[in-house]
Amino acid sequence: MLISEFDPWNSPRCTCPPKYSFGPYTGCSHACIYCYISAYVPWPFTARPKRQVVRRLARELPGLDRSRYLSMANSSDPYPPLEAEMGLTRRCLSFLQGQEFPVLILTKSDLVARDADLLADLPAAVSMTITTLDPRLAAVLEPGAPPPEQRLEALTALHRREVPCILRLDPIIPGLTDQEIESIVEASASFCGHVVASTVKPRPDGLARLRQTFPREMEHLSFSRRGTTRYLPEEQRRTLLQRVASACRAHGLTYAACRENVGGHTAVCDGSHLIPR
């Protein structure tokens, strides 16, 4: 199946509403060092197009519950560098134009602005991940992804076309990105209506990459295991996320945390409440 029900590993901490997961690509060339997909996707940091995506999308869509929405994508960015030449995500969006099926785009790429014309005509919203505003740090954390300034420019372009946008502030890594919480919210506030935040929750391979790349910063962090995921101490997470919530209140934005179970939400976790219905 191309489309599946979203399942965050049966996590009781997930507060997302029922939705479908769909990605035109397997793997993600953004190669973020903290990424969890290397735990279960072969060749995780090389994006490959799925076969006959539009045809399979057309075949599977009629059987779906239209009270839900398509989340593109949860394990691979729908806008890897390969999309610039293949246009596979754009072809999927073109097909969806005639279907009136709600869509939530999750990306780290400014290439999403190319499709503002289609997204403006769809019941759609875009969730843009910005982990840091520092281009040098971003180049280490997310070596294959566009720099943060280009992502902000993409949000500007989408906002001009009245496409609802969400800031995904994820992951917050103490000692690396936590000092930027308020700055990132402020930089995005003019273009986004909602912020979803998450502290770093590495799987073992991601944690190993973080420790290898940032040994001094990571040696001060402790993690406890919850299933296959590692969590920072609850009080540390609560303090960080309270800062996000306060920044959102200051800018009149709704707020939620992803798989944190620390409360304080003012809207649906992933920002899907912004999808026009």
pLDDT score at 22: 94
Quickly state the pLDDT bin for 9 (edges 50, 70, 90): low
pLDDT score recorded for residue 8: 73
pTM of the complete model: 0.96
What does 127-167 look like in DSSP terms, one character per residue? EEE---S-HHHHHHHSTTSPPHHHHHHHHHHHHHTT--EEE
- Residue 114 contacts residue 81 (beta carbons within 8 Å): no
The DSSP result for 47-110, as a single string, is: -EEPTTHHHHHHHHGGGS-TTS-EEE-SSS-S--TTHHHH-HHHHHHHHHTTTT--EEEEES-G
Question: Do 200 and 228 contact (CB within 8 A), yes or no?
Answer: no
The mean predicted confidence, pLDDT, of the chain is 95
Cβ atoms of 92 and 57 within 8 Å: the answer is yes
> So what's the pLDDT on residue 14?
83
Name all domains of the chain by residue range, CATH numbers in brackets. 4-200+233-274 (3.20.20.70)
Q: In the chain, pLDDT over 70 holds for what percent of residues?
A: 99
pLDDT of the residue at 226: 85
- Predicted confidence band of residue 12 (pLDDT cuts 50, 70, 90): confident
Poorest-confidence range of 11-15, 51-55, 157-161? Answer: 11-15
pLDDT computed for residue 264 by the predictor: 85
Span 209-223, average pLDDT: 97
Give the model confidence (pLDDT) of 121-144 as tens digits.
Answer: 999 999 999 999 999 999 999 999
Q: pLDDT at residue 263 above 90?
A: no
Of 179, 175, 168, 174, nearest in space to 145 by CA: 168
The pLDDT of residue 227: 80
Helix axes 148-160, 181-188, angle to 10 degrees: 30
Q: What type of residue is 271? A: G
- pLDDT computed for residue 203 by the predictor: 93
Query: Could you tell me the CA-to-CA distances from 270 to 54, 128, 223, 256 in Å, in that order?
Result: 25, 11, 24, 7
